[in-house]
């Protein structure tokens, strides 16, 4: 017994395009050149959800990378993301695992008179 299904050409074309996009994405993870976005000081402060004054303090302390053109500071989103990632707080389980890996010297506790 043979079964035939009529599939509209639009659906076949849509499926073919979707599969082609996935194949291209798998072979070329970044087919389009990345466009570097520079943010102004105010935009960068909003991106970090900080006040412009707080961002200025971080920039002055050289805790965030920036470039200066004239009187204006410009920031890359990659650098702002890196700053945020540096603030990760370890979980108690991560700290316990690190403590277990620290080599300890043998010592004895003696009562001091």
> What is the pTM assigned to this prediction?
0.52
Tell me the pLDDT tens digit for each residue of 74-89.
999 999 999 998 888 8
CA-CA-CA-CA torsion sign (15, 21, 22, 24) = positive
Domain residue limits, the chain: 38-85
Euclidean distance between CA atoms 24 and 20, whole angstroms: 6
Q: Which residue has the tokens 């659906």?
A: 11
Please write the tens of the pLDDT for every residue from 43-53.
999 999 999 99
- 10-residue mean pLDDT profile of the chain (113 residues): values are 81 83 73 70 94 94 93 93 87 82 64 61
């Amino acid at each position: 017994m043979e079964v035939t299904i009529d599939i509209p050409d639009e659906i076949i074309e849509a499926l073919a395009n979707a599969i082609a996009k996935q194949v291209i994405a798998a072979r070329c993870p970044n087919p389009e050149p990345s466009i570097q976005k520079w943010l102004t000081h105010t935009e960068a402060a909003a991106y970090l959800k900080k006040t412009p004054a707080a961002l200025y303090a971080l920039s002055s302390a050289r805790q965030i990378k920036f470039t200066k053109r004239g009187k204006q500071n410009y920031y890359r989103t990659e650098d702002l993301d890196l700053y945020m990632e540096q603030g990760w707080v370890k979980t108690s389980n991560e700290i316990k695992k690190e403590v277990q890996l620290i080599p300890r010297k043998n010592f004895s506790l003696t009562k001091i008179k």
